[in-house]
Structure 1
Amino acid sequence: MTGRIVSLNTSAKKGVRKKPVKEVVMKTEYGIEGDGHASSEWHRQVSLLALESIKKMQDKGLDVKPGDFAENITTEGIDLPALPVGTQMILGDGVKAEVTQIGKVCHTKCAIYYQAGDCANCHPDIFNIKKKTTVHFSMSRILKSEFCGVCHLKIAFPLDDCGR
C-alpha cells in the first residue's frame, strides 16, 4: 500500500490542535522532537490520520484541517484503520514506524468535541447502536489493543466489532 504524507503537525503540549510545520525531527523510540506527545515512556509516540477522514468531517460542515485532530502526520491514499497492529511502514525518507494501536483513547473533551457538539459527530461509525457492546473494558485492555477505542471514557468496542 502506498500513500503520501500531506501534512506534518506538532504542538508543544497535549490537549490542543497541532499546527502544520515544514519538517520534523524523528527520534527513535521517542517521537517528534518538541512535540507534546513525544515520550519514550509509552508505545504511541506519533499519530497518523487520513486526510479522507478530515474531509468527511468537512463534508458535515466542520471547519477542520490537518492537525486539528492532534495527529502528527496527515496521510492520503492509505486505509489507516485497516492496518493491523504490528504493521511496519516507511515514512518519508526512510523513517521506520510500526502500528502499535488503532484509534486512540480520548481522556477529555477535545476542541473538536466542542465544535462538533458530541462524539457522535466526530466518530459516527463508532456510535452506531448495532456496534455497541456490553463487554467490560479497562485501560490496560485498551492499551493492549484488545479494543479499538473508547471516546471520552464512555464506551469501547472489541476489535472484531468496530468495523475497522
Structure 2
Amino acid sequence: MQVVSVSQDGQHRFSKQVTPSIQLLAGLGVQGDAHAGTKVKHRSRVRQNPDQPNLRQIHLIHAELLDELAGKGFTVQPGDLGENLLTRGLDLLGLPSGTRLRLGPDALVEITGLRNPCAQIEHFQPGLLKAVLDEDEHGHLIRKAGIMGIVLSGGEVKAGDAIHVELPPPPHRRLEQV
C-alpha cells in the first residue's frame, strides 16, 4: 500500500496539479490547497452552510479506479479528478468510517466519508459520472470517486510513501457521503 502521486491547487478548479510532495497541516488539510481550512470550502457546501466543519480537508482516490476507467476508454491522469492523494494497493472504498491512515513519516489522516461526484466530472469527460457510479447486488448506489478525510497530524507526503492502516474499534461503520 503506497502513495502513487500527490496533488494540490490553490484555486477552486476540478483538477489539481501533481507536485513532488505536499505538506499536510493538522486540522486544516493540504497547505496551499483551495480546500484547506477548519470550515467547509467546497462551494456547494459553503452555499448550504459556510459554518460547517471541514470534513473534506483531503481527497484520496485509488489508482485502480484510473485503471478501470482506462479500460472503459477514458483518459484520466493523476490529479485529474481533483484528488490530493492517489493510492495503490488499498481498498479505500472498503475502509470503515474513522479509519486512520499513516502517510509518510509523520502525517495522520482520519477518513470521514465518501466523495459524492458532482456534475463537474461530466464536464471534464462526458460519460465519466456514470463510470464512477455503480450499484451493488442490492441496488444500492456505489460511489467510486474516492474518499475524504481530515488531517490529525501534519507532515510531508510524497509519491512512494508507504500507507499504514489503523482500523477503528468495532463495530465498524460503512463510509457514507460527506
**Residue equivalent to 1:22:** 20
**Residue equivalent to 1:105:** 116
| Counterpart check, 1:77 vs 2:89 | yes
Contact 1:62 1:116 in 2 (8 A): no
1:24 partner SS: strand
Q: CA deviation at 1:12?
A: 1.5
Contact 1:51 1:76 in 2 (8 A): yes
Query: CA 1:68/1:127 → structure 2, altered by over 3 Å: closer, same or farther?
Result: farther
Q: How far, CA to CA, are the matches of 2:18 and 2:92 in structure 1?
A: 20
Which of the pair is proportionally richer in strand? 2
Amino acid at match of 1:85: S
TM-score by length of 2: 0.66
Q: CA deviation at 1:69?
A: 1.1
**Residue equivalent to 1:96:** 108
Which of the numbers 2, 9, 19 marks the counterpart of 1:11? 9
Number of residues paired by the alignment? 132
Q: CA deviation at 1:130?
A: 2.4
Identity of aligned residues (%): 28
Contact 2:15 2:81 in 1 (8 A): yes
Q: CA deviation at 1:76?
A: 0.3
Amino acid at match of 2:116: V
Could you list the runs of 5+ residues in structure 2 that have no partner in the other structure?
A: 40-53, 142-172
Which of the numbers 25, 28, 31 marks the counterpart of 2:29? 31
2:139 partner SS: helix
Q: CA deviation at 1:146?
A: 8.4
The C-alpha deviation readout for 1:23-64, integer Å capped at 9, x for no partner, is 111111001111111111112201110000111111111110
**Residue equivalent to 2:126:** 116
Amino acid at match of 2:106: G
Contact 1:120 1:127 in 2 (8 A): no
1:57 partner SS: helix
Could you list the runs of 5+ residues in structure 1 that have no partner in the other structure?
A: 133-144, 151-164
1:31-50 alignment to 2 at 5 Å?
31-41=29-39, 42-50=54-62
Amino acid at match of 1:113: E
Supply the RMSD in Å over aligned alpha carbons. 2.4
The C-alpha deviation readout for 1:111-164, integer Å capped at 9, x for no partner, is x313133621232x14989226xxxxxxxxxxxx987349xxxxxxxxxxxxxx
Q: How far, CA to CA, are the matches of 1:57 and 1:128 in structure 2?
A: 21
Q: How far, CA to CA, are the matches of 1:68 and 1:129 in structure 2?
A: 31
**Larger RCO (CA under 8 A, 6+ residues apart):** 2
TM-score by length of 1: 0.71
Contact 1:32 1:38 in 2 (8 A): yes
**Residue equivalent to 1:148:** 176
